[in-house]
């Protein structure tokens, strides 16, 4: 991607976002549990192309984040330099999380940083709902995008998933299931251990663990998932 246009400074970006304000979209987002007190209602399908148009600029991304709107923060993530995003910056951003959609958009970026593995442990240990969700959203994204990472890394993350599967908070348990399913779909070698954990959780006496397990078992045993894994492995 080429150098960003100097015309796209923070003030211009925020002004542009204001022109896209949509009360109707905000109402729709609220129905999906998205926090709407600081959003213009701009969908991600609009924000991602906008991010590509304005280009990467790490310092500007940090400034965008501080403006506080959902859209500005997602654009900050989309246009930050992932190699320059430090653990301290990631931690500061995570402390501001107040909506699952921002978590999931930013977690994709966090999962591509050099400090991703350490950040997962730190976020999982945090008691705040959206910070903990970040850990498991990162695992889910990493399982898909970190192609060169050894499967052993993700095998080791199953214990973290098991440790937090009993977190009954909605946005955490959904991310825990997402992480478990993503690991199980990464490769045939990971499918077995992930499914075994899912089946164990599905028979738990704990309500949250049982929900996570059943949700994961459903997808990991589907014909579509099995066929995709076999095709990928050449079997």
pLDDT band of 5, cuts 50, 70, 90: low
Mean per-residue pLDDT, 135-159: 98
Q: How far apart are CA 184 and CA 127, in angstroms?
A: 26
**Torsion sign over Cα 123, 127, 131, 132:** positive
pLDDT digits (tens, 9 = 90+) for 97-112: 999 999 999 999 999 9
pTM greater than the 0.75 cutoff: yes
CA distances from 171 to 4, 64, 124 (A): 35, 25, 13
pLDDT value, residue 233: 77
Average pLDDT, whole number, for the chain?
A: 95
What is the rounded average pLDDT of the residues 167-181? Answer: 98
Averaged pLDDT, 159-188: 98
Q: How far apart are CA 123 and CA 232, in angstroms?
A: 32
pLDDT digits (tens, 9 = 90+) for 189-229: 999 999 999 999 999 999 999 999 999 999 999 999 999 99
Mean pLDDT for 141-151 is 97
Q: Print the SS3 string covering 89-104.
A: HHHHHHHCCCCHHHHH
At residue 68, does pLDDT exceed 70? yes
Q: What pLDDT does residue 235 have?
A: 63
Share of the chain above pLDDT 70, in %: 97
| Integer CA distances (angstroms), 231 to 64, 98, 188, in order | 43, 39, 10
Q: How confident is the model at residue 77 (pLDDT cuts 50, 70, 90)?
A: very high
Q: Which domains does the chain have, with CATH numbers?
A: 1-81 (no CATH), 87-235 (1.25.40)
């Amino acid at each position: 991607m080429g150098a960003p246009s100097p015309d796209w400074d923070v003030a211009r970006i925020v002004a542009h976002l204001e022109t896209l304000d949509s009360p109707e979209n905000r109402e729709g987002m609220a129905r999906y549990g998205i926090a709407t007190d600081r959003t213009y209602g701009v969908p991600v399908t609009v924000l991602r192309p906008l991010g590509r148009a304005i280009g990467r600029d790490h310092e500007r991304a940090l400034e965008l984040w501080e403006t506080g709107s959902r859209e500005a923060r997602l654009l900050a993530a989309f246009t930050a330099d992932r190699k320059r995003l430090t653990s301290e910056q990631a931690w500061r951003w995570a402390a501001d999380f107040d909506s699952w959609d921002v978590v999931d958009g930013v977690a994709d970026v966090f999962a591509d940083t050099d400090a991703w593995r350490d950040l997962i442990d730190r976020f999982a240990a945090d008691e705040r709902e959206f910070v903990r969700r970040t850990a498991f959203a990162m695992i889910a994204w990493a399982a898909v995008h970190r192609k060169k990472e050894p499967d052993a890394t993700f095998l080791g993350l199953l214990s973290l998933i098991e440790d937090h599967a009993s977190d009954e908070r909605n946005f955490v348990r959904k991310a825990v299931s997402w992480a478990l399913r993503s690991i199980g779909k990464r490769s045939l070698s990971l499918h077995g251990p992930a499914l075994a954990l899912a089946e164990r959780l599905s028979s738990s006496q704990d309500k949250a663990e049982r929900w996570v397990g059943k949700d994961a078992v459903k997808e990991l045993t589907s014909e579509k998932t099995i066929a995709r894994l076999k095709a990928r492995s050449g079997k």
